[in-house]
């Protein structure tokens, strides 16, 4: 089904065989936006433009050479037309979003969505890039936060900045969790990423606030190949929020991000995502974003913990498996996921829990909701290595179907090389039925509130992992998405 | 003005009428019992009154409180005081019973232009109503109907009726699945809720419920219509002689 996508690598080779790029290298450096296409010159140009240290260029080139030998994965349960990797421009100078004078200039459809989500007025302005008054100016908010974080020694900045300011930290950890050749998209990302977030929490530090991409990406368009690296040193804790519930329109169809997390002894990272990218035309699925993300955390130190929480409600195709490598002894990995698909969306998402250390624990709670003509797959691997004595895993995989044109699939994989492990797996499939909604309505409860109640009930265990405000917005978001799908 | 006036109602699923020409007038303060063999159209009538979207009315009219009931959707009917006690209450996993009841209660308050109650205040209201229908408090925190026994599901229906205080209650086979002790408790609860301002339509296959809730009128349903109406003594005759006694002459 996705086999046709594999043939693309041939044309990449062809381009390489030509030996030289048709635009001169100097022109490349001067250009604000690189012409479409990918080769070593393009990568050198990116690195040079960003004034990167030598190790970074070597990293990129190595990744690119690896990528050339790889094939697009064909195993995910998704279908899409071939991606022409030579038809993408891999660098453009960060463009500020168009500043608007007032909310009157914002797309009314977007405003209605904001209203339904209950996003406060000032926040609406910020999200749609309307100039806000001094008190709520996001830039000043970001600056205040940054100052507060610096006081306790926390580094939170764009990764391009970290490469200038803290190259030794980046070099030590970049690619240690997701190796450059990990998979096709991770290799591509490693070769061409232009920005993303960098977080370093020093030892014995509890982050005084939740770190959020809100603070970082505010005036610029979201990058196509984002790279995030978070390091939480000994005895430290950080909670990181990515994305927001507001719909994100973007001209880039392919998004291939990489996120790497590292915890040292007794450290904990909690990473929460709400993703609501454009899913394409609800009737045809055309134009939606392909979200091919590699997210992985390594519990490198003993007694450390990494927890992923995701609410995935957008993108035409989602291919994403936030995973944990439980390397230290007594480490813990968690994965809480709500994935909603409607229209013609396709999601193949889940997690990998790799148990290496002794007494490692992992839990997986996955809630898939499929509506309309969408397809929703859970794919999860629990792997227990030989030395991982007393490893434990609990997996719960629930699917909910809305309507009868959609599908839900579950692909659990278990590999264990140790007989002292305890694994539990539970799975269920349910439906929101017309009878249930009628029951609510017969008691005077609106259809909208009924759907909210049923969905919240279904997703309760995941929502409670999210920070309070985020959870409320996420609940509303799901209702909004499903309103037209039930009945 | 009558609370409910059904005139020559024909209704069923697309293309197939199950209710075929029912006329019935119900006044506030009255208790009507609708009896009849299985498949005679009793439950269809109940679903049609509540506005179930799968049922289609092909002919006739229903006036409720002076309004055209058929013009209202299920939610509007409920908010106007129409309550259906389901024969088979659906299970709704993940939704807390008390929270569901509070949602329904608040929807009614909002409709009446009053303020919603918070969970704490509602808890007090709920305790009182649970006592009225003899329901264990542990059912508050259970998921709605999930894993309830048949009897508890029925009690939960009456609990909802008690909380919402409807004008017109249609109880569809509320007695089935109840043992005799539970039946008495439920009947007592229903009796306490009856007053001169509301009305009750009891749909039942058996006469035994009517020993505890005394009807003013008894209607015998067969083949989708009311074939005989009378006072409460009709129920006793049916019990003694069976439905054949009334249905036979109709054939």
C-alpha distance from A453 to closest chain B C-alpha (Å): 6
Closest CB to B90: pick one of A435, A445, A487: A435
- For residues A272 and A213, membership in a common domain is answered with yes
CB contact under 8 Å between A445 and B108, yes or no, is no
Q: Please report how many Cα atoms fall inside a 13 Å half-sphere around the Cα of residue B88, on the Cβ side.
A: 3
Q: Is B7 on the interface with A (CB under 8 A)?
A: no
Is A149 in the same domain as A24? no
Interchain CB distance below 8 Å, A457 and B93: yes
The per-residue DSSP string of A446-481 comes to -HHHHHHHHHHHHHHHHHTTS-HHHHHHHHHHHHHH
pLDDT at A357 over 50: yes
Residue A188 included in any domain: yes
Tell me if A348 is assigned to some domain: yes
Domain for residue A345, yes or no? yes
> Is a pLDDT exceeding 50 seen at residue B110?
yes
Q: Are residues A158 and A69 in the same domain?
A: no
| End residue of a domain, out of A17, A45, A78 | A78
Asked if residue A204 and residue A62 are part of one domain, the reply reads no
Q: B78, A443: Cβ pair inside 8 Å?
A: yes
Is it the case that residue A50 has pLDDT exceeding 50?
yes
pLDDT of residue A13: 39
A438 vs B53, B83, B94: nearest CB? B53
Does the pLDDT at position A283 exceed 60?
yes
Contacts of B160 in chain A (CB under 8 A): 443
Give the pLDDT band of residue A468 (cuts 50, 70, 90).
confident
Residue A186 has pLDDT above 70, yes or no: yes
Q: Judged by CB atoms within 8 Å, which residues 138-157 of B form the interface with A? A: 143
Residues A262 and A330 occupy one common structural domain: yes
- Number of A:B CB contacts under 8 A? 74
- The whole-chain average pLDDT of chain B stands at 91
Q: In this prediction, what percent of chain A has a pLDDT beyond 70?
A: 80
In a domain, A405, yes or no: yes
The Cα–Cα gap between A220 and A32 comes to: 15
Average pLDDT of every residue of chain A: 83
Nearest CB to B94 within list A443, A444, A458 = A458
Per DSSP, helices labelled H in A128-204 are 138-151, 159-165, 167-173, 184-192
Hey, are the CB atoms on A436 and B79 less than 8 Å from each other? no
Provide the sign of the torsion angle of the four alpha carbons B18, B24, B26, B32, taken in this order: negative
Q: Does pLDDT of A485 surpass 50?
A: yes
Residue A235 is predicted with a pLDDT of 98
Question: Do the Cβ atoms of B93 and A441 come within 8 Å?
Answer: no
- 10 Å CB burial of residue A29 (0-12, 13-18, 19+) is middle
B25 φ, ψ to 5°?
A: -120, 130
Distances (CA, A) of A472 to A11, A73, A124, B19, B215: 47, 36, 16, 45, 49
| A7 assigned to some structural domain | yes
Residue-wise pLDDT tens digits, B169-214: 999 999 888 888 888 888 998 999 999 999 999 999 888 888 899 9
Q: With CB atoms and an 8 Å threshold, state whether B53 touches A433.
A: no
B94 touches chain A (CB under 8 A): yes
Task: Give residue A24's pLDDT band: very low, low, confident or very high (50, 70, 90).
Answer: low
* Contact assignment for B92 to A457 by CB distance below 8 Å: yes
Nearest CB to A442 within list B54, B84, B108: B84
Closest CB to B75: pick one of A430, A444, A460: A444
Helix (H, G, I), strand (E, B) or coil at A74: coil
Q: Is A378 part of any domain?
A: yes
- Percent of chain A scoring above 90 in pLDDT: 47
pLDDT of residue A255: 86
pLDDT for position B2? 92
Q: What is the pLDDT of residue B153?
A: 92
A257, A386: one domain:
yes
**CB contact at 8 A, B62 and B5:** yes
Over its C-alpha atoms, chain A yields an Rg (Å, rounded) of 22
Name the closest residue on chain B to residue A432, using Cα atoms: B92
Mean local confidence (pLDDT), B210-239 = 90
Bridge partner residues of A238 (DSSP): A269
> What is the Cα A420 distance to its own chain's centre?
34
Residue in A436, A445, A458 nearest the CB of B103: A445
Q: How far is B240 from chain A (nearest CA, A)?
A: 36
Nearest to A444 among B90, B96, B108 (CB): B108
Residue A1 has pLDDT above 60, yes or no: no
Residue A54 and residue A115 in one domain: no
> Which stretches of A313-356 are assigned E, i.e. beta strand?
317-320, 323-326, 332-341, 346-355
Residues A44, A184, single domain; the answer is no
3-state class (DSSP) for residue A93: coil
Cβ–Cβ gap B50/A435 under 8 Å? no
Query: Which among A78, A111, A133 is the end of a domain?
Result: A78
Do residue A49 and residue A179 come from a single domain? no
Indicate whether A453 and A361 sit together in one domain. yes
Say if A61 falls within a structural domain. yes
Instruction: Say yes or no: A11 contacts chain B, CB-CB below 8 A.
Output: no
Tell me what pLDDT residue A476 has.
Answer: 82
Smallest Cβ–Cβ distance between B53 and the set A433, A434, A439 belongs to: A434
**Interface predicted TM-score (ipTM):** 0.95
The whole domain housing A10 covers 3-78
Decide if B93 and A430 are in contact by the 8 Å CB cutoff.
yes
Question: What is the predicted pLDDT for the residue at B15?
Answer: 81
A444 chain-B contacts, CB cut-off 8 A: 75, 78-79, 104, 107-108, 111, 164
Interval B114-172: pLDDT, tens: 999 999 999 999 999 999 888 888 999 999 999 998 889 999 999 999 999 999 999 99
Q: What is the mean pLDDT of residues B83-103?
A: 94
A241 & A346 share domain: yes
Establish if B73 touches chain A: CB-CB under 8 angstroms: yes
pLDDT of residue A441: 96
Task: State pLDDT tens for residues B15-27.
Answer: 899 999 999 999 9
The answer to whether the Cβ–Cβ distance between A433 and B90 falls below 8 Å is yes
Q: What is the pLDDT of residues A292-318, one digit of tens each?
A: 999 999 999 999 999 999 999 888 899
Q: Report pLDDT for A19.
A: 38
Q: Which residues pair with A425 in a beta bridge?
A: A395
Residues B78, A442 contacting (CB under 8 angstroms)? yes
> Does A102 lie at the interface with B, CB-CB under 8 angstroms?
no
**Tally of structural domains, chain A:** 2
Chain B residues whose CB is inside 8 A of the A442 CB are 50-51, 74, 77-78, 83-84, 86
Distance CA A241, CA A474 (A): 13
The shortest CB-CB distance from A444 to any of B54, B99, B107 is to B107
Q: Is residue A88 assigned to a domain? A: no
Higher pLDDT, A388 or B36: A388
Q: pLDDT (tens digit, 9 = 90+) per residue, A135-145?
A: 333 444 556 67
In this complex, is the C-beta atom of A447 within 8 Å of any C-beta atom belonging to chain B? Answer: yes
What is the spatial distance between Cα A318 and Cα A368, in angstroms, rounded to a whole number? 13
Q: What is the pLDDT of residue A215?
A: 46
Read off the pLDDT of each residue in A273-282 and give the average, rounded to a whole number.
82
Location of structure tokens 């909380």: B163
Residue-level pLDDT at A37: 86
Q: Which domains, from first to last, does chain B contain?
A: 4-92+167-250 (3.40.50.300)
- Report the distance separating Cα B139 and Cα B130, nearest Å: 9
Cβ atoms within 10 Å of A367's Cβ, excluding its own: 24
Cβ-defined contact of B89 to A439 (cutoff 8 Å): yes
In this structure, are A313 and A168 located in the same domain? yes
B-chain residues within 8 Å CB-CB of A486?
none
């Amino acid at each position: 089904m996705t086999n046709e996508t594999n043939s693309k690598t041939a044309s990449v080779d062809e381009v390489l065989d030509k030996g030289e790029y048709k635009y001169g290298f100097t022109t490349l450096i001067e250009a604000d936006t690189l012409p479409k296409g990918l080769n070593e010159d393009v990568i050198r140009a990116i690195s040079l433009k960003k004034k990167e240290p030598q190790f970074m260029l070597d990293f990129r080139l190595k990744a690119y050479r690896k990528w050339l030998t790889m094939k697009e994965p064909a195993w995910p349960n998704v279908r899409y037309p071939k991606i022409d990797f030579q038809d993408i421009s891999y660098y453009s100078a960060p463009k500020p979003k168009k500043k608007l004078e007032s909310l009157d200039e914002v797309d009314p459809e977007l405003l209605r969505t904001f209203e339904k989500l209950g996003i406060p007025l000032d926040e609406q302005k910020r999200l749609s890039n309307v100039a806000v008054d001094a008190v709520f100016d996001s830039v000043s908010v970001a600056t205040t936060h940054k100052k507060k974080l610096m006081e306790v020694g926390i580094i939170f900045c764009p990764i391009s900045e970290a490469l200038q300011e803290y190259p030794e930290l980046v070099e030590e950890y970049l690619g240690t969790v997701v190796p450059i050749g990990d998979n096709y998209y991770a290799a591509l990302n490693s070769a061409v990423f232009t920005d993303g977030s960098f977080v370093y929490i020093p030892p014995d530090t509890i982050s005084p606030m939740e770190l959020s991409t809100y603070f970082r990406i505010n005036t610029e368009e979201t990058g196509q190949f984002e790279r995030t690296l978070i390091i939480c040193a000994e005895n430290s804790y950080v909670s990181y929020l990515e994305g927001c519930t507001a719909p994100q329109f973007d001209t880039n169809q392919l998004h291939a991000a990489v996120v790497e997390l590292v915890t040292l002894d007794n450290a904990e990272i909690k990473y929460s995502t709400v993703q609501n990218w454009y899913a394409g035309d609800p009737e045809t699925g055309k134009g939606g974003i392909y979200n091919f993300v590699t997210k992985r955390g390594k519990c490198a130190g003993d007694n450390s913990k990494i927890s992923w929480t995701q609410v995935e409600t957008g993108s035409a195709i989602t291919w994403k498996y936030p995973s944990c490598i439980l390397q230290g002894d007594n480490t813990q990995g968690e994965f809480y996921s709500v994935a909603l698909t409607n229209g013609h969306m396709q999601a193949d998402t889940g997690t990998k829990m790799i148990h290496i250390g002794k007494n490692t624990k992992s839990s997986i709670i996955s809630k898939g909701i499929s509506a309309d003509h969408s397809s929703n797959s859970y794919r999860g691997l629990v792997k227990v290595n030989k030395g991982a004595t007393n490893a434990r895993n609990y997996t719960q995989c629930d699917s909910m179907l809305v309507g009868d044109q959609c599908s839900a699939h579950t692909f659990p994989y278990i590999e264990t090389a140790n007989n002292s492990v305890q694994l539990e797996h539970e799975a269920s499939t349910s439906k929101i039925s017309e009878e249930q909604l009628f029951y609510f309505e017969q008691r005077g409860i609106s259809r909208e509130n009924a759907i909210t109640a049923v969905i919240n009930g279904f997703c309760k265990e995941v929502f409670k992992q999210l920070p309070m405000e985020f959870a409320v917005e996420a609940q509303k978001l799901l209702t909004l998405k499903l309103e037209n799908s039930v009945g | 003005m009558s609370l409910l006036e059904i005139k020559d109602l024909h209704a069923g699923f697309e293309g197939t009428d199950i209710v075929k020409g029912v006329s019935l007038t119900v006044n506030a303060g009255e208790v009507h019992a609708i009896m009849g063999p299985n498949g005679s159209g009793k439950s269809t009538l109940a679903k049609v009154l509540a506005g179930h979207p799968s049922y289609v009315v092909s002919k006739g009219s229903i006036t409720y409180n002076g309004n055209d009931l058929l013009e209202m959707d299920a939610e509007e009917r409920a908010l106007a005081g129409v309550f259906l006690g389901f024969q088979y209450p659906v299970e709704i996993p993940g939704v807390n019973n008390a929270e569901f009841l509070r949602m329904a209660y608040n929807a009614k308050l909002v409709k009446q232009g009053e303020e919603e109650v918070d969970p704490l205040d509602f808890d007090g209201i709920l305790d009182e109503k649970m006592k009225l229908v003899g329901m264990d408090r542990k059912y508050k925190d259970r998921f709605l109907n999930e894993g309830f026994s048949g009897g508890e599901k029925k009690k939960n229906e009456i609990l909802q009726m008690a909380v919402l205080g409807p004008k017109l209650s249609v109880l569809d086979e509320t007695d089935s699945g109840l043992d005799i002790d539970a039946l008495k408790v439920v009947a007592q609860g229903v009796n306490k809720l009856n007053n001169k301002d509301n009305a009750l339509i009891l749909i039942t296959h058996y006469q035994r419920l009517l020993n505890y809730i005394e009807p003013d009128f008894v209607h015998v349903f067969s083949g989708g219509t009311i074939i005989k109406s009378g006072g409460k003594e009709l129920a006793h005759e049916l019990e003694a002689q069976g439905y054949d006694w009334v249905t036979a002459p109709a054939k």
